[in-house]
Amino acid sequence: MTSGGDPLLEQLASGERLPLARLLTRIENGDPSVRPLLPSLFAAGRGGHVVGITGPPGSGKSTLVNGLIGEWRRRGRRVGILAVDPSSPYTRGAILGDRIRMMEHAADRDVFMRSMASRGELGGIAATTWITAAALDAAGYDPILVETVGAGQSEVEVARLAETTVVVEAPEMGDEVQAIKAGLLEVADIIAVNKGDRPGADRAARQLRAMLSTAGGRVERKPPPVLVTTATDGDGVAALADAIDAHRSAARTPAAARERAISQVRRALADLVAERAAGSTGWNEVARAVAARELDPLTAAERLMGE
């Protein structure tokens, strides 16, 4: 919990909210002033549990997150939430509506909830989400819930960021074959069939369990637990919080943690390297050469990387 004497990190550590909120804005905006802070920000990380919450639009992610906040607050945890909604590809505007379901916790000093627009990223989270999650970690929030945009079948980026990924489904979302398609369900560490008061919820959970037990995408894995929740009345929410906490303990073997950290960082590094490349002096020249068909894209990439 060393803040290294940096005044901003000290403010974060002491639970001040406006400095954290303003730091998140600078991170989102790619403000160059963030760059020199990054080493101490990551060093100040306290190992908060990053939990991804994903699933189709309308499956009840935000309502379930609201229930989880209440559950973890009862257990004395400080909860951070990053809730991502899509940006318009035409105007870059966005409606960020996840807060509607969580306003009851707005005044709780031990809950920090931030809405983020995806700003053109297609993976279900924003490009800067991994840094904003690090900021919440440095500020001592644990768990840190990352709620994705309403996800289709392949917005699986959150699984790289999160230690534990919860996929929220609703009943009657499709037949058994949906459960064995590659993609979203494959990255689930836990599946919550929400809207458990609807007809078909238990049947959907049974089908998911049956199908997922036949084949795991990542072969070494046990099939993920499938829980039925009713976020609107809190049914099953405590069990879901237990399952998330249990997954953390199981996932935090040193080897697993190292492997996960590497795969998380790989994507972040690729983004940063791409950004650097796009700003390098040879970039325009190489792009022009490729456009004029004097160079193929692979050779161009090798040249930019100095290979």
| Positions that interact with another protein (CB under 8 A) | 17-18, 21-22, 24-25, 28-30, 32, 87-88, 91-97, 99-100, 103, 106-107, 112-115, 117, 119, 275, 278-279
Tell me the three state secondary structure of residue 190.
strand
Nearer to another protein, 141 or 264 (CB): 141
Nearer to another protein, 72 or 112 (CB): 112
The least distance separating another protein from the CB of residue 238, rounded to whole angstroms, comes to 25
Cβ(144)–Cβ(49) below 8 Å? yes
Cis peptide, bond prior to residue 7, ω within 30 of zero: no
The least distance separating another protein from the CB of residue 83, rounded to whole angstroms, comes to 10
The least distance separating another protein from the CB of residue 176, rounded to whole angstroms, comes to 37
Cβ(9)–Cβ(46) below 8 Å? no
The least distance separating another protein from the CB of residue 111, rounded to whole angstroms, comes to 9
Nearer to another protein, 29 or 263 (CB): 29
Distance of CA 105 to the CA centre of its chain: 20
Nearer to another protein, 119 or 303 (CB): 119
Task: Give me the DSSP letters along 191-203.
Answer: EEE--TTSTTHHH
- Find, among 189, 193, 163, 164, the residue nearest to 178 by Cα: 193
The least distance separating another protein from the CB of residue 242, rounded to whole angstroms, comes to 27
Nearer to another protein, 17 or 206 (CB): 17
Rounded (5°) CA angle 80-254-188: 55
Rounded (5°) CA angle 192-197-201: 50
The least distance separating another protein from the CB of residue 51, rounded to whole angstroms, comes to 19
Q: Cα separation of 22 and 132, whole Å?
A: 11
Q: If 0-12 CB within 10 Å is exposed, 13-18 middle and 19+ buried, where does residue 96 land? A: middle
Nearer to another protein, 1 or 18 (CB): 18
* Residues sharing a CB contact under 8 Å with residue 286, sequence separation 6 or more, in sequence order: 295, 300, 303, 304
The least distance separating another protein from the CB of residue 82, rounded to whole angstroms, comes to 11
State both tokens at 235.
Answer: 């049914």
Nearer to another protein, 24 or 244 (CB): 24
